[in-house]
Amino acid sequence: MKLAEFQLKLRQRGLQAFLVTHDNMFLNQDILDSENKILELTGFTGSAGVLLVTPSKAWLLVDGRYAIQARLETKRKKITVVDSQSFTVDVVTLCANNKIKTLCYNPWCVSASDVSFYAGKIGLKPAEEVLPSVPVPPSKVYQHDLKYTKLSAQEKCESVAKSLLQGADALLISAADDVSWLCNLRSVLLPYTPVLRAYALLNRQGGVQLFADDVQGFGIILPMKALKKVLERYKGKTILYNPDTTPQKMLDMVKGINFRRLFFNPLLNMKATKNKTELKGYQEAHLQDGIAVTKFLYWLHQQKRNKLTELDVVEKLHEFRAKRPLFVSESFATIAATGAHAAIVHYQPSKKTNEPLEKNSVLLLDSGGQYLNGTTDVTRTIAIGKPSKQMINDFTLVLKAHIRLATAVFPENASGRSLDVLARSVMWQEGKDYSHGTGHGVGYFLNVHEGPFNMNLNTTSHMNANYVTSIEPGYYLENKYGIRLENLVYSVTAKQKGFLKFENLTLIPIDKKLVNPYLLSDGEREWLNNYHQNVWRCLAPYMDKNEAEWLKAACSPLI
């Protein structure tokens, strides 16, 4: 359906406005393009945003990652792009400014917390039939082996039940990645994220029931339509739920249940706190990923780069990753952006936008892999030809910001905001900034973006020991170039009592052609040299003679 057709539908039904989200019934999770209603209506391919539509106007609200991309991909005469730091606040403001008194929405696609926010500020009308969700396609389900997880599903369920269910009768788990982690189950439905799309109901004894449609290979999962009947058995009882990941429809479906909001969810911290087996898996996965990406970088170095395109880069990098043990898929669609494309934070090349690598510029390459023993995510900015002095200085500034956070010692339970500022303040001192967060939690063979932890200026999350996170400051000059440097790290106890520090996971060389050594302090130079020494030590045994010679030079110390 095109936007004009949808607006006609609203007009015919006499509806003032409709809120279109980027979600299906599994909120804040990856979706297929066929399920993406915002893509269908507007052509916008980004992974976050909301669309407010009236019979005559439309506003697409996006965060800083997609400010440029949204304007390039949509028709300005038909859609107004709004740069937003809070979708809910800005939707209410737009409604007030345009005299919209009633907002329609699909209750399967809007969270209970968002509906609660809107209530009292604007009239709400559930209208699932106006823009129904696409049925979930069939999916094969399989177990994530105990040798990778250490803890069995039963152990996890009993631990969560003991922590959560005192004073309650059950916990409704509506986030697909939470269900997948809890039950050690994975699925092959989504191209980059192996989560099982299912809901779970966990009782006080640690027993769990799963609900999903069209799953194959697992007979204990009930169909989604059975969830209502099971919930009806809890009338007069208390069920805990997370309002941020639970669709409003779930609360409306069965009356007479005391749904109690879960203000603190220990399940999220259990999932984010990686055990020794998981941390060892991350290390092994990053070794394999480092081998693959480094072999690719050597290959790239050997090519006539002005003959290569962005899609050539994507295809070849996949070839190298696919050869590594335990590789399953990319962890997201590879970002290979040359020249001005690199200034579009989450640009992904397509046949329509594909460009040859721009000479005397940079290639921004952001990619990752899903391995059975871990998830990877790395960004490297690579010199193509002879980069300008400004490019080199900007890259060095981003490197300094990365090092500032990578070497930080910080209190246990430090806020994601304070850690973000540690890196970002390096940029601020030069009057520069970037429009995305400095880091995000990373799942274990799950979502590459995993809560509850992240690092940005608006977060309320906090860092604990054994969390895995990215560190990825950047700098983007619109219509010219973009720079980002990303490694994954995990938090460990520091020698100072009550403090934490980061240990590195990523093993891929940083392009020294983009480093101005005169802008680095002695400590920063030492960090880079030590990092490269470790990359060389870990990867050299896996390189052939020519690759090893190139890698040795790439990892040689700065003079």
Q: Which two tokens stand for residue 22?
A: 């980027």
**345 to each of 19, 46, 340, 465, how far by Cα in Å?**
25, 10, 11, 30
Q: Is the pLDDT of residue 219 over 80?
A: no
- Cα Rg of the chain, angstroms: 24
Specify whether 245 is located in the same domain as 331: no
* pLDDT tens track for 392-402: 999 999 999 99
Kindly state whether residue 221 falls inside one of the protein's structural domains. Answer: yes
Position 559 in a domain: no
- Let me know if residue 558 belongs to a domain: no
Question: Is the residue at 373 inside a domain?
Answer: yes
CB 181 within 8 A of CB 202: no
pLDDT attached to residue 205: 92
**Residue 215, pLDDT score:** 85
On whether the CB atoms of residues 492 and 465 are closer than 8 A, the answer is yes
Count Cβ atoms below 10 Å from residue 209 Cβ, excluding itself.
16
Domain boundary pick from 264, 293, 312:
264
Mean pLDDT for all residues in the chain: 95
CATH of the domain at 405: 3.90.230.10
At 44 the pLDDT is 96
Q: Are residues 441 and 418 part of one domain?
A: yes
Distance from C-alpha of 227 to C-alpha of 259, rounded to nearest angstrom: 15
Pair (237, 279) in one structural domain: no
For range 431-451, the mean pLDDT: 97
Picking from 99, 126, 153, the residue at the C-terminal end of a domain is 126
Q: What is the mean pLDDT of residues 223-245?
A: 93
Q: Phi-psi bin for 133: left (phi > 0), alpha (psi -120 to 50), beta?
A: beta
Express each pLDDT in 501-536 by its tens digit.
999 999 999 999 999 999 999 999 999 999 999 999
Q: pLDDT, tens digit, for every residue of 51-89? A: 999 999 999 999 989 999 999 999 989 999 999 999 999
Number of domains in the chain: 3
Beta strands in 22-72 (DSSP E): 50-53, 58-62
**Are the C-beta atoms of residues 474 and 438 closer than 8 Å to each other?**
no
Exposed (0-12), middle (13-18) or buried (19+): which is 283, by Cβ within 10 Å? middle
Q: Map tokens 């940005």 to a residue.
A: 456
Amino acid at 409: V
Looking at the structure, tell me whether residues 203 and 327 fall in a common domain.
Answer: no
- The reply to whether 134 falls in a domain is no
Going from the C-alpha of 277 to that of each of 267, 353, 374, the distances in angstroms are 18, 42, 10
Q: Per-residue pLDDT averaged across 415-430, rounded?
A: 98
Give yes or no: residues 308 and 451 share one domain: yes
Q: pLDDT tens for residues 456-510?
A: 999 999 999 999 999 999 999 999 999 999 999 999 999 999 999 999 999 999 9
Same domain (yes/no): 151, 223: yes
490 and 464 both lie in a single domain: yes
The percent of residues in the chain predicted with pLDDT above 70, rounded, is 99
**pLDDT over 90 for what percent of the chain?**
92
Q: What tokens were used for 96?
A: 């007030």
pLDDT confidence of residue 266: 87
> How, if at all, do strands 238-241 and 258-261 pair?
parallel
Query: Are 359 and 437 in the same domain?
Result: yes
Q: Report pTM.
A: 0.95
Looking at the structure, tell me whether residues 470 and 540 fall in a common domain. yes
Q: In terms of domains, do 503 and 482 share one?
A: yes
Task: Give the range of the structural domain holding residue 194, as residue numbers without chain letter.
Answer: 139-264
| 131 assigned to some structural domain | no
8 A C-beta contact, residue 272 and residue 442: no
- Residue 64 sits in the same domain as residue 165: no
Q: 400 and 283, same structural domain?
A: yes
Instruction: For 159-176, write each residue's pLDDT tens digit.
Output: 999 988 778 999 999 999
Q: Which residues pair with 441 in a beta bridge?
A: 450, 469
Q: Choose the final residue of a domain: 202, 234, 264.
A: 264
Average pLDDT over residues 347-373: 96
Task: Label each residue of 442-459 as H, E or C.
Answer: CCCCCCCCEEEEEECCCC
Classify residue 132: in a domain, yes or no: no
Q: Give yes or no for residue 301 having a pLDDT over 90.
A: yes
Strands (E), 208-304: 208-211, 215-216, 238-241, 258-261
- The answer for residues whose C-beta is within 8 angstroms of residue 207's C-beta and 6 or more apart is 157
Q: How far apart are CA 420 and CA 427, in angstroms?
A: 11
For residue 88, the domain's CATH number is 3.40.350.10
Answer whether residue 133 is part of any domain: no
pLDDT tier for residue 305 given thresholds of 50, 70 and 90? low
